[in-house]
Amino acid sequence: MPKGEAPDMSISETKSATSPSTTMKLIPEPYLKMVLLARKQLRICQSIFGEQHGEVDWGFSG
């Protein structure tokens, strides 16, 4: 793909579409807090089970 403005524009469009502020507005705050809490608990579970049973691949990237 030739270097030019087209790739830059597509990248900036993707960033603006998935910006945190846009996501925050679309998701209700209680649900957002619940998701963040669940993600935190998932990380704790990953660390616990990871230590006990070796490395566990949960299929989540972050």
Segments of the chain assigned E as strands: none
Structure confidence by residue, pLDDT tens digits, 4-51: 544 444 444 555 555 555 555 676 788 888 888 988 988 887 777 766
State the total domains in the chain.
1
Question: Contact 50/56 with Cβ under 8 angstroms?
Answer: yes
Intra-chain end-to-end CA distance of the chain, in Å: 30
Q: What is the pTM of this model?
A: 0.34
Spatial distance between the Cα atoms of 24 and 27, rounded to a whole number of angstroms: 5
Do the domain assignments include residue 61?
Answer: no
- The range of the structural domain enclosing residue 44 comes to 5-52
Q: Is 58 part of any domain?
A: no
Report yes or no on 24 lying in a domain: yes
Q: What are phi and psi of 20, to 5 degrees?
A: -55, -40
